[in-house]
Structure 1
C-alpha cells in the first residue's frame, strides 16, 4: 500500500492561515508573557488570548486533536501533524489552539474511558482551556517501569460503592501547582501483573491529604512556569466515582495516553526544529566574518545540510505514524511512534547545538530561544519514558517480525544462495559453476 500525506486545497488554506497567525499573532506572546502559558489567565492576558482563541474557533481549528462530538474538528492524525508542526514553533500556540500538553492526552482518556458524570465535571473545562490538569504517574523510585510503583489504592469497605483510599508519592507531576484535578495511577491489586493490577483515579485539587511537597523547575525554565511537583497522597479518600475506567484498567489507560502524547510531542518537535533551522540559515546569511558571510563557510554549510537531512526523515517518520493511525493500523503505528519518540530528542538536540554554534555567544543567552530548544530536546529524551527504554522496546517489536535462520550460515551468504539456486534451476541450466567466474 502506498503512503499518501496529501491534503485537499481547502485544508492547505487553513495551514497557510495557521502559519501566518502563529507568526504574527501568537509568537509575540512569548516576549509579552514569558513562561506564563500554563498559568491561569489573569485579566491582562485574557484580554489578548481570548480573542485569539476565538479567531481559532472561527476558522474551525479549535482542539484539532479531538472529534466533533467533543468540540474538536476530527481532522485525523496526518492533518493534526501538519497543524502541530506549525504550533510547535511557539510555546503559546498550543494554548491558543486548545492542544496543550498534558491536557490533550488527559482529555482524550477521559473522553474514551470516563463516565458521563466525569466528562461533565472535567472535560468541558479542559476543552475550553479554562482549567489545567495534572497526570501524576512517575514515582521517585520508578518512572519508565510501572512494575516498581508503590502508590496504592485500597477500597475502604466492600461493594462497588466503597470509597478508595490512595497512599503514595508521585514525582515530576507536571502542572500540579496550577491543576484543577489530578489523574493518578495507583496499584489496586499488587498480587497480579501491573497490566492487570493498576487503576486510574480522578482527584480534584484541594482534596484532603493531597500535598505538594516540592516543586521543581527545569534548568533554564522561566520562574513563572508551574514546574514539576513531588506530590504526597496521604490517605487521600475519594468516592467510587473517582475511578477512571474499570479496576485494573490503569495500564491500558496509561499506554493509551502515553502513545498519543509521544506522537503529539514529536509533531510539535518538528516545528521547534524547523524554527532552529530557519534561525541558523538566516544568521548564516547575515553574519559576516573573515571576508564573507558565514553561509559561505563550508563547515557552516555542513551544519545547514546536516540539519535538513535529519529534519526531513524525522518529519516523514512522524507523518508515516500518523498515516498508519488514520488507516486503522494502530498496531503497526506502535513501532513508528517509538521511533518518533527516539528521533524527537535526537534531532532537536543536534539541530539546536548547530544553531547555537552559528549564533555564537548570543545563541547561549536568553535573548534567543535556542537554549530552550536544546533543553526541550534533552527533556524529550526523558519525558514519557527515557530514550534507552524506547530503543529496547522498539528493537523487541521489530525482532518479533523475524525468524532465526536454519543452518549455521546466513541465508544471504553467496555459497548458500548458490546451493539454493542449483536446487531450484539446476535441471534447466545444467551444471552451475562453483563461482560465476569459474571456467
Structure 2
C-alpha cells in the first residue's frame, strides 16, 4: 500500500495551504471575535453569518478550491478518499476553512448521501444548491428520550400515507440548524414494516425547515458555548407532512444509506482532528519556549518535553491509521473497512483531546479563554467522542470483528 499523495492531490493540498495562509489565517481570530462580541447566545433567530465568509467562499470557488471532498470530477474535485484526507487535515487547523471550501459537516455527508442515493428530483432541488454553497443542511438523528448510541431505539416515526409521509418526533443535537442558511434537514425515523428485518425499518426523509410542524425549540450549548452561527438544536416534528418522494432511496433504506454515508465522513472528521492536534502542538511549543518560570523555559520544566514527544508519536500513529482506513475504503468500500473506520473514530478525537489538554496546561489561564483556539479544539474533541457513535460502540464493533475471526459469532 502507498499513502503518498498523487500529483493531483498534492497540488490541491498546496493550493489549500496557500489560500489558508493568505486569506484565512490573517482574519480568523477577528472573525470569531466579532461573532462572540454580538453575544446573542442561544437566541439563534438573531444569528448572522458575517459577510466575510461569503467573500472568502467566492474567492475559494474562483480558485477551484471547492467541494474538494466529492469524488466526482464534474461536481467536485474528483479526489479519492485517500487523496482528500491530507486536505481535510489541513482544514482542521481552522474553524473557518471547511466552510470556506464548502467542505463542512454535516453538509459534506448530506451531499455525498444525495449524490449517491438521491433521485434526480432530489438532486435538483437540494443537492445543487448545497454544492453551490447557497444553502446549508442538517442531519436529524439523535433523540433526547432514548439511548441514541443504538439507532434502532428511535422513537420518531416516518409513516407513509398515500403520496405523503407523515413525520413525528423530537430530535436534538441537530448540528447546523441555527445557521441562517440552513434550509433542509434529513430526518431519520422509524418506518415499521412487518415484512422487513430490523435494519430495514427506518427511513431518511428530506424535510424543508420551513415546512408546517417543524418547530426549532432551542439551541444546546456545548460547555457553555452555543457554537454560533452554526448551533446544535432541539427540534420537534409535529405531524409534518411532505411528499413521499422526499424519502431517500425508498422506505426502510435508512440504515443501508447511513453506512454508505458514514465511512468517508469519519475519515474527514478524524483528519480534521489531526489538523487541530497539529495546531495545538504548534501552540504548545511556541508558548512553552517563549515563557519562563523558575529560570527555565516552560518546556524545560518537569516532563513537558516528554509531552511534546508523546504528542508527536500519537499524532503520527493516528494519521497512519486514518490513511490506512482511507486506503481500504477506496479499494473495498466502507463495508470492507469497518474495523479500521471504528478504530480511527476512537483514536483521533482522543489524540486531539490529549494534545489540546497538554497545550492548555502549558498556556495556563489563557488556555481556557478565547485568546487561543484551544477551547474550541477541546470542545470539538470531547463532543466527537460521543457524536457519530460513542467510543464504546466503536470498540464493541472492533471486538466483535476480532472475535469473528476466531469463529465466535456472538
Same fold (TM over 0.5): yes
TM-score (norm 1): 0.84
Which runs of structure 2 are paired with 1:292-311 in the superposition (5 Å)?
292-311=296-315
- Give the length in aligned residue pairs: 395
1:237-258 Cα distance to aligned partner (Å, 9 max, x none): 1112111111110111122223
Describe the shift of the 1:206–1:320 C-alpha distance in structure 2 as closer, same or farther (beyond 3 A).
same
Residue of structure 1 equivalent to 2:147? 142
TM-score (norm 2): 0.90
What is the Cα deviation at residue 58 of structure 1? 4.1
Residue of structure 1 equivalent to 2:175? 174
Q: 236-245 or 225-234: which moved more?
A: 225-234
Residue of structure 2 equivalent to 1:185? 188
Distance 1:228 1:382 in 2: 14
Residue of structure 2 equivalent to 1:255? 259
8 Å CA contact 2:48–2:229 kept in 1: the answer is no
Point out where structure 1 has 5 or more consecutive residues left out of the alignment.
405-439
Is 1:233 aligned with 2:234?
A: no
Residue of structure 1 equivalent to 2:285? 281
8 Å CA contact 2:185–2:208 kept in 1: the answer is yes
Q: 265-274 or 356-365: which moved more?
A: 356-365
8 Å CA contact 1:146–1:194 kept in 2: the answer is no
Residue of structure 2 equivalent to 1:165? 166
Q: 267-276 or 28-37: which moved more?
A: 28-37
1:172-213 Cα distance to aligned partner (Å, 9 max, x none): 111223320110011111544431111110011111111112
1:298-347 Cα distance to aligned partner (Å, 9 max, x none): 51101101111111100111111111122235333211110110012210
Which runs of structure 2 are paired with 1:36-435 in the superposition (5 Å)?
45-46=50-51, 48-68=52-72, 71-140=75-144, 141-157=146-162, 162-178=163-179, 179-189=182-192, 191=194, 192-221=196-225, 224-403=228-407
Describe the shift of the 1:194–1:172 C-alpha distance in structure 2 as closer, same or farther (beyond 3 A).
farther
Describe the shift of the 1:209–1:306 C-alpha distance in structure 2 as closer, same or farther (beyond 3 A).
same
Instruction: Give SS of 2:169's match.
Output: strand
Distance 1:210 1:262 in 2: 29
What is the Cα deviation at residue 7 of structure 1? 2.3
Is 1:17 aligned with 2:15?
A: yes
8 Å CA contact 1:194–1:251 kept in 2: the answer is no
8 Å CA contact 1:218–1:227 kept in 2: the answer is no
RMSD: 2.3
Instruction: Give SS of 2:158's match.
Output: strand
What is the Cα deviation at residue 403 of structure 1? 3.8
8 Å CA contact 1:187–1:194 kept in 2: the answer is no
Describe the shift of the 1:329–1:242 C-alpha distance in structure 2 as closer, same or farther (beyond 3 A).
closer
Point out where structure 2 has 5 or more consecutive residues left out of the alignment.
37-43
Distance 1:44 1:352 in 2: 27
Distance 1:219 1:13 in 2: 38
